[in-house]
Amino acid sequence: MRRFIRIALAGLALAIASTGGAMAQHGQDPNKLSLGVQATGTVKWELAAMAALGIDKKHLLELDVRDVADSKAGQIALQAKEVDVILSDFVWVSIQRHEGNMVTMVPHSLTVGGLMVDPAAGINSVADLKGKTLAVSGSPVDKSYVILAAEYNKLTGGNLTEDASAKFGAPPLVNELITGGQAQAALNLWNWNSRAKLAGKTELISVAAMLADLGVSETPPLLGWTFFDETAHAKKEAIKAFLDASFETKKALLEDDGVWDKIRDAMNVGDDDKLFAQLRDDYRAGIVTKYASSAMQPAEQAFELMARYGGADVVGSSTELADGTFYKGYRK
């Protein structure tokens, strides 16, 4: 009897092992990835929608989402191999590749913000910023500010930093300065600009429109899902599953109003229906619907522009976008 039980147990173990092997062969094992994302970032909206719609489960994803304080903290976490994927910008990715750190990215968003103005300030053009107080999210080497300075230089031949009184700070402070009347113009992130619009301020020009005026053919995808080449190789199926899920979620956010009701809590808008609708509509304007690494010429043009006007402080030692900045192992 004991011998029979041992044989039966051994057979059961073999059957389980065989089933597990078959599941692995058919892609049934979870695709495990760790993500480092800003706790208060709008990227959390996509992840919330992905979970609410069950798209992560559909693609057999097992995501370990870890909060980071800001983009810099995310970059550090990625470099330390504490997470597999973060959200970063193509300029940082290019700099890393030129320095031998082989990270790569797939576009996530086209929206980066724009220049908001007080309608009573008499600012009808970027050229009118001369003598005005300008609130800016970030620092003098922030990419959007470099683009604004380039646009100002094109229109006036002048130096924006010298001609305007610029106040640099975090997005909430910048929004407070423009809505409170302490600045006549503000260059801020898109989601804070949505709030400024509801406070009666208007968008004079978007960063995308400035880039177009400066000769960049299309809006480049500034932000993207970023990971190491070695991760893309070692976790190829997981990376593909995640990117597929990301694009599927974006499509739902673009086309289905009902999805937004499911993620309202993540948007932190409370009962403010106007803010909810404004954020939804502005978010949709930046959704990426397709991707091919061979179609990233706008990013190359934007990089060259930032190199020309921002120099090494913005783009590092190289004036050209590094080969492989955009991941070649995936297309949508």
pLDDT tens digits, 118-141: 999 999 999 999 999 999 999 999
Largest CA distance in the chain: 95
| Fold: same for 29-110+220-315 and 114-213 | yes
Contacts of 226 by beta carbon, 8 Å cutoff, 6+ apart: 78, 85, 86, 87, 88, 92, 93, 103, 104, 105
Q: Is the pLDDT of residue 145 over 70?
A: yes
Q: Is the pLDDT of residue 184 over 50?
A: yes
pTM of the predicted structure, to 2 decimals? 0.88
CATH number of 29-110+220-315: 3.40.190.10
Q: Is the dihedral of CA 13, 19, 21, 24 positive or negative?
A: negative
Q: In the chain, where does DSSP find H-type helix?
A: 2-25, 43-52, 55-58, 71-79, 90-98, 143-156, 160-163, 171-179, 190-198, 207-213, 229-234, 236-255, 257-262, 264-267, 273-284, 297-310, 312-315
pLDDT at position 217 is 82
Provide the 10 A C-beta neighbour count for residue 281.
Answer: 11
Between 151 and 40, residue with greater pLDDT: 151
pLDDT at position 18 is 35
pLDDT tens digits, 234-286: 999 999 999 999 999 999 999 999 999 999 999 999 999 999 999 999 999 99
* Size of the chain, expressed as the number of residues it contains: 332
Beta-ladder partners of 64 = 34
CA distance 252 to 241: 17
CA distance 318 to 300: 12
Confidence of residue 40 (pLDDT cuts 50, 70, 90): confident
Average of per-residue pLDDT values in the chain: 91
pLDDT at position 28 is 63
Q: Are 212 and 6 within 8 A, CB to CB?
A: no
Q: State how far Cα 302 lies from the chain centre.
A: 16
| Level-2 CATH architecture, domain 114-213 | 3-Layer(aba) Sandwich (3.40)
Domains of the chain, by residue range, sit at 29-110+220-315, 114-213
% of the chain residues with pLDDT over 90: 85
Q: Is the pLDDT of residue 5 over 90?
A: no
